Amino acid sequence: MQQLLSMEHLTTDEIYHLIQQACNYKARNINSPQYSKHFVANLFFENSTRTKSSFIVAEQKLGLNLVDFETTTSSVQKGESLYDTCKTLESIGVDLLVIRHFQNAYYEELNNINIPIINAGDGSGQHPTQSLLDLMTVYESFDSFKGLNVVICGDIKNSRVARSNYYSLRALGANVMFSSPDSWKDDTLEAPYVDIDDVIEEVDIVMLLRVQHERHNNDEVLSFESNDYHKLYGLTIERYNRLKQQAIVMHPAPVNRGVEIDSSLVEAPKSRIFQQMQNGMYLRMAVIDAVLQTKGEQ
């Protein structure tokens, strides 16, 4: 795996390998490889807690040297392009770039960058490491994906998580459905839209999405507030109680408590929300190791 830009670039064999490697790290079945002679830069052009911190811990566990980079104190403030920023870091000896950017498919402009890139989220495009950690969490609960019924609920149009998980879960044999307000539907994805109350007793996995206020215009925000989203589309206590015994609840976080999910359910027995966060660090270790091994740099 030379780099990781989207879930569509991964084969199912590569997905399973990354999940298994991450599970091995988590179970301490294998020692972490060490890349003490190598440098990584994390370029986050959007705010992040879980993804950025998870990558940093994963990188430190792998012995990588972190190059300090903050957009607010870099030449980005002087108008430097993303390409020139990446080329500068490549030129001074950085071996790996982890990038989160507000532009969809920003990586298409970086074809002449000669070091690996891991996509930590591109606009409303994709978020491959989030999808992989979600898949790891599902695998820990079900040992398989084939035939699982998954409903992804919420802001489909603006969610890179929904897009990545749609592609990966379908490729692995799961049945994917969406539940969303009409204004937040994405007609480019072919999964059927359902009423959450019609399927809540049949699904194995409920994947809740954060309402992304920062990507909405004022009309959408007003519509969101007036429609009482939690009652119509969120995981209420009543809906939670209708889930199958073995069903699980997921959310990429940050969680808008009382909106996408009742606050009391965030750490309920069926919730895997904090397990997802824990798995993220191990999964990102696996991705970084796979990329650097392909580059022949251990």
φ and ψ of 153, to 5 deg? -115, 130
Q: Was 12 annotated as part of a binding site?
A: no
Query: Which amino acid, one-letter code, is at 152?
Result: I
Q: Was 22 annotated as part of a binding site?
A: no
- Of 186, 208, 266, 253, residue with least CA distance to 47: 253
Q: Was 51 annotated as part of a binding site?
A: yes
First-last CA distance in the chain? 14
Q: Are 272 and 229 in contact (CB under 8 A)?
A: no
- Peptide bond connecting 269 to the previous residue in cis, omega within 30 degrees of 0: no
Query: Which amino acid, one-letter code, is at 31?
Result: N
Q: Was 253 annotated as part of a binding site?
A: yes
Contacts of 94 (CB under 8 A, 6+ apart): 39, 40, 41, 67, 115
Q: Was 100 annotated as part of a binding site?
A: yes
> How many CB atoms sit inside 10 A of residue 294's CB?
12
Q: Was 127 annotated as part of a binding site?
A: yes
Contacts of 188 (CB under 8 A, 6+ apart): none
The span from the CA of 18 to the CA of 41, in Å, is 22
Q: Was 130 annotated as part of a binding site?
A: yes
Q: Was 284 annotated as part of a binding site?
A: no
Q: Was 236 annotated as part of a binding site?
A: no
- Of 34, 32, 6, 35, residue with least CA distance to 21: 32
Specify binding-site residues for L-aspartate. 78, 160, 210
Specify binding-site residues. 50-51, 78, 100, 127, 130, 160, 210, 253-254
Specify binding-site residues for carbamoyl phosphate. 50-51, 100, 127, 130, 253-254
